[in-house]
Amino acid sequence: MTSVLKLAVIGGDGTGPEVTAEGMKVLRAVAKKEGFSVEATELDLGGERYLKTGEILPDSELEALRGFHSILLGAIGHPDVAPGILERGLLLKLRFVFDQYINLRPVKLFPGVETPLKNKTTEDIDFVVIRENTEDMYGGVGGFMHKGTPLEVATQTAIYTRAGCERWLRWSFEFTRKRNKRKQLTLVGKTNVLTYGHDLIWRTFQDVAKEYPDITTDYNHVDACCMWMIKNPEYYDVIATTNMFGDIITDLAGILQGGMGVAAGGNINPEPGGVSMFEPMGGSAPKYTGKNIINPIATISAVAMLLENAGYQSAADRVTKAIMHVTGTKMKSQSAGKMGYSTTEIGDIVCDSL
Ligand code: IPM
Ligand code: MN
């Protein structure tokens, strides 16, 4: 924690800049109440700039980002840019270059928020997914042979390293201990089919577990996890899972907590001096862009996570409490256009509730 929180803001595409504006409004308001200052630098990155100049993430900007403790990201994805270009060139590049090996995705049903699960309450839906964020099929290892011919071969290799598994799993055990709820860590994988890669993960999990006798360890295959998450979400405390499976199950989990308007995540490099990045889980929502109707709650939640990660715990708690007050007593719905308020009004009432 420092008396000045220095962060970079990448609004990005579509509704991204609208939601980061509300996140920053709340961040500035809470900083004022808690007595620290915020120095924010906005970076113009995303689909529009790429279409105009061909630049995605120039080295000079990447270097400049090293000087910040945190990044707040809005959304990446543009309807006129082919899939993969911005995702790989910007979002995944930032995750990899800054070695943000933890993707932390809390799944908490806030008061007043509707879940599609019948008879499940805020008590039942309260767990955390810790997704490994640098390995697996995301590593970009693979290629084509005989591309475009009937003999074409494509490979996309999943990479798992002992060191990569160890650092992510050790962090997951530490997190489960600090969270201090049920102290149960469920590893989610597919050891019955991925008999090399997930065997390495399983052995690493058992080895690291020996250092944490106070944590109950548990294992689910990923398909069974999807079933349990719907049937008995209260079963989960903390889940550790791989990059690809984590991507998939956190969309499922995100819907249980009220959808993309609410779900937030952090791409964390926990090492000293590490640059971490926080974002709403939803995309750029082109059809809602510029209408002032998108839900900024997920981004404001991402701001709370950013604050906690940067050491401003009481500011983080204040923001989370304000969010719960607003979802619990003010908002009609978490869906874009149905909140009972505009995007900017939600930002204002969260500030008023701090
Ligand atoms: C996410 C997103 C990204 C991912 C995409 C946009 C590359 O779906 O953050 O979950 O697959 O990790
Ligand atoms: Mn995803």
Taking the CA of 138 as reference, the closest ligand is 1
Looking at the structure, do residues 140 and 32 belong to the same domain, yes or no? Answer: no
Nearest protein CA to atom 7 of ligand 1, as residue: 87
Out of 256, 274, 309, a domain closes at 256
Where do we find the tokens 């304000």? 322
Is the residue at 195 inside a domain? yes
Angle at alpha carbon of residue 251, lines to 248 and 253, rounded to 5°: 110
Is the residue at 288 inside a domain? yes
Looking at the structure, do residues 11 and 88 belong to the same domain, yes or no? Answer: yes
- pTM value is 0.97
Q: 43 CA to middle of ligand 1, Å?
A: 20
Looking at the structure, do residues 143 and 98 belong to the same domain, yes or no? Answer: no
Is the residue at 84 inside a domain? yes
Looking at the structure, do residues 251 and 267 belong to the same domain, yes or no? Answer: no
d(CA 90, CA 67): 18
Looking at the structure, do residues 180 and 129 belong to the same domain, yes or no? Answer: yes
d(CA 270, CA 65): 16
User: CA of 319: how far to CAs of 32, 248, 259, in Å?
Assistant: 13, 28, 19
Ligand 1 pocket: which of 13, 71, 87 to mutate (most atoms within 8 A of CB):
87
Is the residue at 336 inside a domain? yes
- Residue 1 is predicted with a pLDDT of 66
Looking at the structure, do residues 241 and 348 belong to the same domain, yes or no? Answer: no
Is the residue at 252 inside a domain? yes
Looking at the structure, do residues 250 and 268 belong to the same domain, yes or no? Answer: no
Question: What is the sign, positive or negative, of the torsion defined by CA atoms of 297, 299, 305, 307?
Answer: negative
Taking the CA of 252 as reference, the closest ligand is 2
If one counts the domains in the chain, the total is 2
Ligand 1 pocket: which of 135, 247, 248, 284 to mutate (most atoms within 8 A of CB):
247
Looking at the structure, do residues 15 and 80 belong to the same domain, yes or no? Answer: yes
Segment (H or E) for 225: helix 222-231
- Residue 195 is predicted with a pLDDT of 98
Out of 256, 273, 289, a domain closes at 256
Is the residue at 111 inside a domain? no
For residue 38, the number of C-alpha atoms closer than 13 Å in the C-beta half-sphere is 27
CATH at residue 219: 3.40.718.10
CB-count exposure of residue 326 (10 Å: 0-12, 13-18, 19+): buried
Segment (H or E) for 268: strand 264-268
Looking at the structure, do residues 90 and 134 belong to the same domain, yes or no? Answer: no
Out of 256, 276, 294, a domain closes at 256
Q: 246 CA to middle of ligand 2, Å?
A: 8
Looking at the structure, do residues 12 and 67 belong to the same domain, yes or no? Answer: yes
- Residue 96 is predicted with a pLDDT of 97
- The answer to whether the beta carbons of residues 158 and 136 sit under 8 Å apart is yes
Nearest protein CA to atom 6 of ligand 1, as residue: 87
Taking the CA of 93 as reference, the closest ligand is 1
Ligand 1 pocket at CB < 6 A? 87, 91-92, 247
| DSSP at 54 | S
Looking at the structure, do residues 233 and 320 belong to the same domain, yes or no? Answer: no
Is the residue at 110 inside a domain? no
User: CA of 41: how far to CAs of 24, 33, 267, in Å?
Assistant: 11, 21, 19
Looking at the structure, do residues 232 and 304 belong to the same domain, yes or no? Answer: no
Is the residue at 296 inside a domain? yes
d(CA 240, CA 188): 6
Divide the 354 residues of the chain into consecutive groups of 10 and give the mean pLDDT of each group: 89 97 98 97 96 96 94 96 94 97 98 97 98 97 98 98 98 98 98 98 98 98 98 98 98 97 98 96 94 98 98 98 98 97 98 98
Which atom of ligand 1 is closest in space to residue 76's alpha carbon? 6
Ligand 1 pocket: which of 13, 92, 103, 137 to mutate (most atoms within 8 A of CB):
92
d(CA 250, CA 243): 11
CB-count exposure of residue 215 (10 Å: 0-12, 13-18, 19+): buried
Domain of residue 216: give its range: 116-256
